[in-house]
Amino acid sequence: MIPVATPIIDEEEIQEVIKVLKSGFIAQGPRVAEFEEKFAAYVGTEHAVATSSGTTALHLALLAAGVGKGDEVITTPFSFAATANAALYVGATPVFADIDPLTYNIDPERIEELITPSTRAIIPVHLYGQPADMDPIMDLAADHDILVIEDAAQAHGAEYHGRKVGSMGDAACFSFYPTKNITTGEGGIITTDDDEIAEMARILRAHGETERYRHTYLGYNFRMTDISAAIGIAQLGKLEEFNSRRIENAAYLTSQLGDLEGVSTPHIAAGVRHVFHQYTLRVPGSRDELMGFLNERGVGTGIHYPRPIYRQELYQRLGFDARCPVSEAAAAEVLSIPVHPALTGEELERVAGTVREFFE
């Protein structure tokens, strides 16, 4: 089976982990500090605060930015559940704005009508590695004095009009889960230019301590380990190469599949660098048949995502009754196929050839 995602770990990561294991510092230590410095420099922000996962990065960013009970957080329903769950963790209410039908990212025109006096933050997601349309989002946020927290979990190295994702909002969150463009095993990071958000995130990441055993706030243990950071440093050095391969693989798939009837290949918005965390086809009417056909022939697939977040049982039970028809339609028709940088040329040909075979 050609997997839809797989991490690339080689001798460099293994040797770096061995060095950490032998160093005596295996929890948060000097390698985490080094990873934060390098990641901030890569994204172009003043600060980076490493965490135990992308989910805890989102949770911590909202806490550090002061989002809490009674606040509303506008986000997309067409994402991994963690995006909206982060609002629930801090006692805020997620409010779902529908997406653009071509990019699958939050539609800025749907955001404005949802802004109320309680709106504290917008969380756009750079889905599949394609930046959300940030200029109108940042304009709306400035007009209404609202924070923007980018969910860049899927978009390390993506760019919007020449700016890296993670450098545009008040803060941004990345994930280093093994399926992501780079990994640390489990892990996440917050990037920000805001000194106060960075400082609060560091304090709340480690039990709310402002000095040793002085607990000033209700904090958490959301720390990254030096073992993970050592993997992350090695991976960060390869991110550009990994992304270039993703972009080349995506271009190849589109060149092979772009002319087929009954399926749409990914749309790349003007002025962006899409880093193809996922290569997601749109297959009206026959998504599940195509998925079965590919899987039977050894081509892995993924559905990102099978239902809008407000249709999840948890959200239904909590009484969410959003209506986002563009997201609903996408959830029924999207199918991700392998695009990751570990694919050989032969595997890539097999992926494209098997999709063609289905439609022909």
Which parts of this chain interact with ligand PLP (CB under 6 A)?
Answer: 53-55, 79-80, 82-83, 125, 151, 153-154, 175, 177, 188
DSSP, residue by residue, 68-82: -TT-EEEE-SSS-TH
- Cβ-based neighbour number of residue 255 at 10 Å: 11
CB 193, min distance to ligand PLP, A: 21
Cis peptide before 305 (omega within 30 of 0): yes
Residue nearest to ligand PLP (CB): 54
Cis peptide before 279 (omega within 30 of 0): no
Question: Nearer to ligand PLP by C-beta: 174 or 358?
Answer: 174
Between CA 207 and CA 177 the distance in angstroms is 24
Residue labelled with tokens 């899409």? 274
Question: Nearer to ligand PLP by C-beta: 188 or 341?
Answer: 188
**CA-atom Rg of the chain in angstroms:** 20
CB 45, min distance to ligand PLP, A: 19
Cβ neighbors of 104 (< 8 A, separation 6 or more) are 78, 127, 128, 130, 280, 330, 334
CB 153, min distance to ligand PLP, A: 3
Question: Nearer to ligand PLP by C-beta: 176 or 320?
Answer: 176
CB 111, min distance to ligand PLP, A: 17
CB 61, min distance to ligand PLP, A: 11
Question: Nearer to ligand PLP by C-beta: 104 or 177?
Answer: 177
Of 149, 150, 158, 151, nearest in space to 181 by CA: 158
- Can you list the alpha helix ranges (DSSP code H) found in 237-306? 239-257, 287-296
Question: Nearer to ligand PLP by C-beta: 225 or 354?
Answer: 225
Question: Nearer to ligand PLP by C-beta: 173 or 352?
Answer: 173
- Bridging pattern class, strands 72-75 and 93-96: parallel
Of 159, 205, 160, 155, nearest in space to 182 by CA: 155
Helices 82-89 and 54-64, packing angle to 10 deg: 40
CB 94, min distance to ligand PLP, A: 13
CB 176, min distance to ligand PLP, A: 7
Question: Nearer to ligand PLP by C-beta: 93 or 336?
Answer: 336
